[in-house]
Each structure stands twice: as structure tokens, then as C-alpha cells.
Amino acid sequence: MPEAAETQDAEGDNEAEDQHTGTELKDKTVIVVDDDHRNIYALKNALRKEGMNVLTAENGMQCLDMIMGKEQIDIVLMDIMMPVMDGYETMKRLRGLDRHQDVPIIALTAKAMKGDREKCMEAGATDYISKPLKLEQLLSVMRVWLS
């Protein structure tokens, strides 16, 4: 009997969570920084379905150029291993910009080796998710930082 009550409570929490989703991401601007076109394509489509304005950059230099020209960036999804300028250097430089130093940056990496999370956080990441990405996990983390 107590197990059924726990299950019911958990389901009730999920329903409340489902009702709450959608509004935190709607009309927010995200920059997806990744050198893999498949990742960009998949993320762009998923985030647009959530009502987000999606900008993309293939490396850190493009990301910095893009951010310098934008008034409002709400969140950045940052791949770590990229040509031209990697995610670590890009995050450090972003944190040095007055206008966008507080923007949430979610580091995304396929390496996922011991110490990577700490290295990302030291470089300026707000949060960290390892690849392969689970879309619901990513959306949940984004909602936390955008609410």
C-alpha cells in the first residue's frame, strides 16, 4: 500500500513538472557551439520545437564574434573539442566580457574523462553534460538555468 502512494506522488510530481515545462525556454535565445553539423542540426530542431531562437557557431571564434553583435543571449551550449578555438578558451573569454559574463554556459563534451567537469567549471561553465546527450536531461538543465 505505501508503495502505491509513493508511485502516485511521483506521478503527481511529473504531471506538475510537465505542466511547468515549455515556458522557460520559449522565446529565449541560445547559441549552439559545435563543430559537428549533425549535433547542430539535431539540437537546432529540438530547441526550435521548444520555441527557442537558435543561433549556431562551428567554433569558439565564431561564437565570440556572434555574441559581440547580440544584445541578448540567454544561454550557450558549448562543445569542448573544436578547431580554431576550443570550448575551454571560449568560455574563459566569454567570462571576460562585461555584457555577457553572467550568461549560463552548458559545457557539452564527448570526452567525459575524470576531471573534465572540474576543468569545464574552472573555465567558466555553469553546468556540464557529457555526450551522447539525453535531450530531456539537457532541456531540464536549461530550464533550471533559465528560470
Tell me: the pLDDT tens digits for 63-77? 999 888 877 889 999
pTM of the model: 0.81
Share of the chain above pLDDT 70, in %: 84
pLDDT grade for 87, boundaries at 50, 70 and 90 = very high
Is residue 55 within 8 Å of residue 31, measured between CB atoms? yes
Task: State the alpha helices, DSSP H only, in 21-69.
Answer: 37-49, 60-68
Inform me whether the pLDDT recorded for 117 exceeds 80.
yes
C-alpha cell of residue 26: 520559449
Q: Which residues contact 59 (CB under 8 A, 6 or more apart)?
A: 33, 35, 82, 83, 84, 85
Cell of residue 74, nine digits = 540567454
CA 105 to chain centre: 6
- For the segment(s) 2-146, the CATH number from 3.30.70.1140, 3.30.1360.40, 3.40.50.2300, 3.40.470.10 is 3.40.50.2300
Domain boundaries, the chain: 2-146
Candidates 89, 42, 80; CA nearest to 61 is 89
Please tell me which residue, 13 or 146, carries the higher pLDDT value.
Answer: 146
What angle do the packed helices 87-95 and 60-68 form, to 10 degrees? 20
